């Protein structure tokens, strides 16, 4: 069975009763992934970012490259199971506060679409809190839909725009 590599976005903006603040939550989640059927190959620096949507709490964010024999739907299932283990409730508010959020951004198999999952992640190209950390460990990865590298997507996103006069 082939081994696949995945770029996983990590986020937390709530304390966990056992693990502590959001940065420690992300480190604990990475350790849990590494003990499971995943091999954590690389982890970006963790950053703080402003929340999207109604949440008022700042997020700790980062990305990781993991490898596994699992296909994307199986990986999604395992990530959701880990989120629940860390206290995430199903049916929560979109963009609300959460202890742990894990998203598949890219994988080495190109585009993927199923009833539950779309890869590449539909919004990652507009998210500095994903692209910034991703540049540090996966800058050369290419978006299978645009052909642009993560570094190029980040440069486009952060390029200064002229102010209309």
Q: Note the pLDDT tens digit of each residue in 70-122.
A: 999 999 999 999 999 998 776 555 555 678 999 999 999 999 999 999 999 99
Handedness of CA 147, 151, 153, 156 (dihedral sign): negative
Asked, for residue 165, whether it belongs to a domain, the answer is no
Neighbours of 88 (CB within 10 A): 17
Asked, for residue 116, whether it belongs to a domain, the answer is yes
- Domain interval for residue 104: 4-158
pTM of the predicted protein model: 0.91
Distance CA 77, CA 61 (A): 21
**Segment among 32-36, 59-63, 90-94, 130-134 with least mean pLDDT:** 90-94
Asked, for residue 23, whether it belongs to a domain, the answer is yes
Evaluate whether 43 touches 99 at the Cβ level (below 8 Å): no
Kind plus residue range of the DSSP H or E element containing 62? strand 59-68
Phi, psi torsion values for 8, nearest 5 degrees: -110, 125
Rounded percentage of the chain residues whose pLDDT exceeds 70: 91
- Token duo for residue 80: 């959701």
Determine the pLDDT at residue 29.
Answer: 95
Asked, for residue 164, whether it belongs to a domain, the answer is no
Number of domains in the chain: 1
**Segment among 11-20, 35-44, 49-58 with least mean pLDDT:** 49-58
- Given a cut of 70, whether residue 55 has pLDDT beyond it is no
Neighbours of 112 (CB within 10 A): 17
Residue 120: is the preceding peptide bond cis (ω within 30°)?
yes
What is the CATH number for 92? 3.30.70.560
- Token duo for residue 85: 């283990």
């Amino acid at each position: 069975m082939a081994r696949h590599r995945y770029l996983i976005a990590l986020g937390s903006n709530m304390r966990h009763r056992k693990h502590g603040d959001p940065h420690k939550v992300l480190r604990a989640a990475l350790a849990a992934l590494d003990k499971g059927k995943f091999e954590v190959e690389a982890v970006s620096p963790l950053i703080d970012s402003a929340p999207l949507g109604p949440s008022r709490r700042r997020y700790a964010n980062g990305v990781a490259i993991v490898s596994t024999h699992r296909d994307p739907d199986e990986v999604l299932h395992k990530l959701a199971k880990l989120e629940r283990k860390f206290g995430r409730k199903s049916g929560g508010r979109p963009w609300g506060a959460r202890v742990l959020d894990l998203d598949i951004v890219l994988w080495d198999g190109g585009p993927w679409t199923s009833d539950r999952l779309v890869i590449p992640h539909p919004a990652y190209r507009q998210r500095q809190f994903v692209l910034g950390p991703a540049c540090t460990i996966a800058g050369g990865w290419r978006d299978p839909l645009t052909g642009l590298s993560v570094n190029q997507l980040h440069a486009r996103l952060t390029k200064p725009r002229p102010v209309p006069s």
